[in-house]
Amino acid sequence: MRELDGMTRTCGLIGNPVEHTVSPVIHNTLAEATGMDLVYVPFHVQTGYLEQAVKGAYALNLLGLNVTVPYKSDVISFLQDIDPLAEKIGAVNTLVRMDGGYKGYNTDMPGLYRAMCSDGVQIEGEHVLILGAGGVARAVAVLMAEKNAERIYILNRTLERARQVSEEVNGLAGREVVYPMELCAYQDLPKDRKYLCVQATNVGMYPKIAEAPIEDEAFYQLVHTGYDLIFNPLDTRFMQLVRQGGGSAYNGLKMLLYQGIIAYELWTSKAVAEHLAEEVLGKMLTAMKQKK
């Protein structure tokens, strides 16, 4: 157990709720392994107190913060500066201390990209399916466009929302790359190729683990690789269907790992080696099993 004293720097997580987070496992393990005198703590911020929490964190000399639901967009109003990618995505999950306040970053999407790279999955030139059209799906579409996917389809229950997101991301990308579709119209997808598919809804999340956004086995035969951004459960119905269709399937745990690692690197200016990332991932899995 590390000793904490007046020289120890503090980072933390703000959100509502935060009680079941595994983020302290990531950052406290990294701090110990890299020799940083740093501790990471979750802070439950009640509705209506976000501005006070950010200003209070700065006043208390906190080195940095992660931000989770429901504050990833609302926190932008209270920042000193914002990174261009976070501004494009419209969501911030990492605050880095600077003169006068905090600078906001989005490490979720770079975290997803690093997870995909570690799994040997490339985006450039891919035809991508994104299930859902909420804030996470929009962020994924921005990432896929930035990493030069050839074509991106947003499949959503309501076509109007998929249209809105497609127009926004196409405007940011400066090219026509995102196309909206109703979720039930997946049969209209071109059948001459297989797709990279990102599941960006909360369908299949604990406790409703027997559900998937699409149940038709024919859809999953079009998917060569499926990423479910859910990590509880670790093996979702979506992932099972992808594998049954002959594809490779991954959950969102590595995205959580790498978004944390990137945040830690921003706070400390220390690069995290891949072998250390694997060690942290193992500790995250252990912590999740203990919480059940």
235-278 pLDDT per residue, tens:
999 999 999 999 999 999 999 999 999 999 999 999 999 999 99
Statement to judge: residues 80 and 137 lie in one domain: no
Statement to judge: residues 115 and 241 lie in one domain: yes
CATH number at 35 reads 3.40.50.10860
Q: How many CA atoms lie within 13 A of 77 on its CB side?
A: 7
Nearest to 44 by CA among 26, 63, 70, 73: 70
Q: Would you say residue 102 lies in a domain?
A: yes
Cβ neighbour number for residue 14 with a 10 Å cutoff: 22
34-71 pLDDT per residue, tens:
999 999 999 999 999 999 999 999 999 999 999 999 99
Statement to judge: residues 136 and 242 lie in one domain: yes
Statement to judge: residues 183 and 199 lie in one domain: yes
Statement to judge: residues 46 and 168 lie in one domain: no
Structure confidence at residue 290 (pLDDT): 84
Q: Would you say residue 3 lies in a domain?
A: no
Q: Would you say residue 1 lies in a domain?
A: no
| Beta carbons within 8 Å of 87's beta carbon, 6+ residues apart | none
Statement to judge: residues 115 and 245 lie in one domain: yes
* Alpha carbons 105 and 79: distance in angstroms, whole number: 10
291 is catalytic: no
Q: Would you say residue 202 lies in a domain?
A: yes
* Alpha carbons 32 and 254: distance in angstroms, whole number: 20
Statement to judge: residues 166 and 64 lie in one domain: no
Both tokens of 111, joined, read 């975290």
Q: Would you say residue 4 lies in a domain?
A: no
Report whether 265 contacts 272 (CB < 8 A). yes
Letter for the amino acid at 105?
Y
* Alpha carbons 140 and 41: distance in angstroms, whole number: 28
CATH number at 163 reads 3.40.50.720
Task: Examine the pLDDT at 292 and tell me if it is beyond 90.
Answer: no
Q: Which domain holds residue 28?
A: 9-106+254-291
80-110 pLDDT per residue, tens:
999 999 999 999 999 999 999 999 999 999 9
In Å, how far are 52, 65, 92, 192, 264 from 84, measured between CA atoms? 25, 18, 11, 36, 19
Statement to judge: residues 102 and 116 lie in one domain: no
Statement to judge: residues 94 and 123 lie in one domain: no
Report whether 50 contacts 76 (CB < 8 A). no
Statement to judge: residues 209 and 262 lie in one domain: no
Overall number of domains in the chain: 2
* Banded pLDDT at 205 (limits 50, 70, 90): very high
CA angle 193/155/147 to nearest 5° reads 65
Which is catalytic among the residues 55, 72, 147, 194?
A: 72
